[in-house]
Structure 1
Amino acid sequence: MTISQEQGIHQPVKAEAYWVTESGHGELRPEALPGLEENEALVRTLYSGVSRGTERVVHQGRVPQRVADLMHAPHQEGEFPGPVKYGYLNVGVVERGPKEWLGKTVFSLHPHQDYYVLPVSQLTPIPEDVPARRAVLTGIVEVAVNALWEAGPRLGDRVAVVGGGLVGGVLATLLRKYPLGRLELVDADPDKQELAEKLGIDFALPENAQEDCDVVFHCSASNEGLKLSLQLAGDDSDVIELSWFADKEVTLPLGEDFHARRLNIRSSQVGAVALPRRHRRTNAQRLETAAAALSDPMFDTFLTSECQFRNLPGSLVKLFEKPGGFCHVVAYPKPEE
């Protein structure tokens, strides 16, 4: 479908979006788009990304009712457990809107949908040196940027990243450029050593991980990973928690390392800018920082599978049935297709 860039045309344009209909199932549904208001843009999606951890929880209907409002995505429609239109890694091109935005490649926190309308204030321009496909990681890099602002690692610090999944891997990719004294990726899966070697950083299985860290970033979303993070943290140091446990309960031996060595566990929830930067950075500026960081080709490492938008319902079922991989990319048809 081709959409004219002519200004002043307000009739709705039909689009399609992916909806989770019930636990473990989803479908493409037609969407009627509104006409453009001032300072709004019509975006044609090029790629969207599937964040396996969070979207698996949504797909399986496991979002705890107590935090359902907090887990509400910026442009979500419907409510948990469903039907719900969910997602937050979208890269497209502006087809209509303010003249200075026409033709720009942009990132937004929009669900999986082929065309959509948003205020331009909610679009993040993608730098010219960042490929559109790689730019789907903008929202994931934003999570890592927030954690770095939260922790503030210093020159010569000893740092561990516990959990080598998508968030942990992206965080380690950024950290590898810091002037640290030590950086170690820790994971129970020995295959994650390949990722560490590609990044040029140290790798350790949990039983071999080095202790006395200045900062530990926990990204494994597991009880064992958080317990290990407390063991690796040095006296009076911080464990920065990036995991979302959803409906999983966590049991920790707080009578051991936590109290005896005066440790701190600090949440790095991305809904708000990390407190050390909250008065000097906006959410939009944090996204711009993340988009700029994606000029590094190393981030292509985390784009590990792909499907066509029309096949998304079946592809997600298969994706969530098997472990492994990082970000799943959804490719959208070109207008001529």
Structure 2
Amino acid sequence: MDSVVSQSLWYVAPERIEIRSEILGPLPKNNVQVRTLFSALSRGTESLVFKGLIPESEYSRMGAPFMGGKLPFPVKYGYSNVGRVELGPPELIGQLVFSLMPHQSIFQADANNILVIPREIPAQRAVLAANMETALNAVWDASPGPGDRIVIIGAGVLGCLIAYLCGHLPGAEVTLVDINSEREDIAKKLGVQFSPPELAPKDCDLVIHCSASAAGLSTAISSAGEEAIILELSWYGSNKVDVSLGGAFHSRQLKLQSSQVGHISLSRRPRWNHRRRLAAALAMLSDSRLDVLLTKPISFEALPSELPQIFSAQSSALCCLIQY
């Protein structure tokens, strides 16, 4: 087979991006060649990559599974890719697949590093698989139960997916908290309650923080009930954050616990691997209500001009969908 030219997004310096071309050679044995249909931007981690705010101590841990280059720059980053197999084992050709690949128009990968998308899940929604995997792992870490009063601080994609999963618990009172009142409609569509920070429920059994802000963490602490867990999912990069540990934090014996998708939750680690967890997360995307998290697609070619606005503090976009 002749070589093909692929295009990919590269972060080349703080707040500088470019699209680069690369030549893909003959397909190695046991690999597939996939033509990307959609990918999705992570406004959390990827915005830190874009701004050069990944601390040097975390370069290894925060590398995307199949990124090109090295942190901090230049780097081909991203981990939410949906495409169609055009070369490879006969049983996979034509299949719609999800992978943790960067933003790239065509790529080659070991067949073990892709997952066939269930027929009932459309390609656009399937880009949420990586976020759903993080949400699933967080719910495992938090161990919410039926009837619990649960608050999720920060109604970004991750917070919304965690609220969605917790909302399936019988009798659970699940509230999504955010400073953006427009997220109330999203919360209702996902089947959970909504509150601004100043009215966030108190005396909660479980609080999950996803806002990546000091104010959000303070709200999380004030919402926690006696001896409750505050699960921290925000990742701040090299940014400093003030934590309010005065007041009743100690007398209420609150627990501040981290959660990170790079580690399978301790409660599942003996039986689960990363592939099984990702496959389970992908299968959880069959609900059409989750489409409320997707933005109108932007073209891959427009990324260099669109990314600064997408990653700005003024942007309220949730899952930023890229179309190829």
SS at match of 2:185: helix
CA–CA separation in structure 2 for the residues paired with 1:104 and 1:90: 14
The ranges of structure 1 where at least 4 consecutive aligned residues each deviate by more than 6 angstroms after the TM superposition are none
* Residues 297-328 of structure 1, C-alpha deviations (whole Å, 9 max, x = no match): 01111111321112221121232233201011
TM-score (ref. length: structure 1): 0.92
Q: Give the drift of 1:331.
A: 0.7
Q: Choose from 235, 240, 243 the match for 1:252.
A: 243
Superposed displacement of residue 53, structure 1: 1.8
- Pick the aligned partner of 2:77 from 83, 86, 90: 86
Counterpart residue number, 2:252:
261
* Residues in 2 aligned to 1:50 and 1:162: alpha-carbon distance in whole angstroms: 21
The answer for the alignment partner of 1:288 in structure 2 is 279
Counterpart of 2:277 in structure 1: which amino acid? R
CA spacing shift, 1:194–1:232, aligned 2, 3 Å: same
Q: Secondary structure of the residue that 1:295 maps to in structure 2?
A: coil
Of residues 91, 97, 112, the one that matches 1:106 is 97
Residues in 1 aligned to 2:119 and 2:203: alpha-carbon distance in whole angstroms: 41
CA distance in 2, matches of 1:140, 1:208: 27
Give the structure 1 partner of residue 169 of structure 2.
Answer: 178
State the one-letter code of the partner of 1:329: L
Give 2:306's aligned residue: 315
Residue-by-residue CA offset, 1:69-125 (whole Å, 9 max, x unaligned): 111001111122211111111001111111221111111111110111111111121
Cα offsets for 1:245-299 (capped at 9, x unmatched): 1122122222333321122122110111111111111111111111111100011
Q: CA deviation at 1:15?
A: 0.8
Aligned pairs (5 A) from 1:215-234: 215-234=206-225
Matched residue, 2:231 = 240
Which residues in structure 2 correspond to 1:1-16 (within 5 Å)? 9=1, 11-16=2-7
Aligned identity (percent) is 41
Residue 23 of structure 1 pairs with residue 14 of structure 2:
yes
Q: Which residue number corresponds to residue 154 of structure 1?
A: 145
Matched letter for residue 218 of structure 1: H
Q: Partner residue of 2:57?
A: 66
5+ residue gaps in structure 1?
Answer: 1-8, 333-337
Q: More deviation in 237-246 or 251-260? A: 251-260
SS at match of 1:110: coil
The aligned counterpart of 1:54 is 45
Change (3 A) 1:284 1:257: farther
SS at match of 2:295: strand
Q: Distance in 1 between matches of 2:267 and 2:26?
A: 40
Give the drift of 1:190.
2.1
Query: How many residues end up aligned between the 2 structures?
Result: 323
- CA shift, 1:188, in A, is 2.0
Match of 1:203 among 194, 204, 225: 194
CA distance in 2, matches of 1:257, 1:44: 54
The residue type paired with residue 325 of structure 1 is A
CA deviation string 1:138-170 (max 9, x = no partner): 101111001111112111111001111111112
Query: 2:213 and 2:189 mapped to 1: Cα distance?
Result: 25
Distance (Å, rounded) in 2 between the aligned partners of 1:303 and 1:70: 28
Tell me the CA shift for residue 182 of structure 1: 0.9
Partner of 1:279: 270
1:46 CA displacement:
0.7
Equivalent residue in structure 2 for 1:191, among 182, 196, 199: 182
Q: Distance in 1 between matches of 2:238 and 2:81?
A: 26
Equivalent residue of 1:323, what SS? Answer: coil
Per the alignment, do residues 262 and 34 of structure 1 end up closer, same or farther by CA in structure 2, a change over 3 Å counting? farther
CA offset at residue 179 of structure 1?
A: 1.2
Q: Structure 1 residues 173-182 or 137-146, which shifts more? A: 173-182
Moved more, 220-229 or 184-193: 184-193
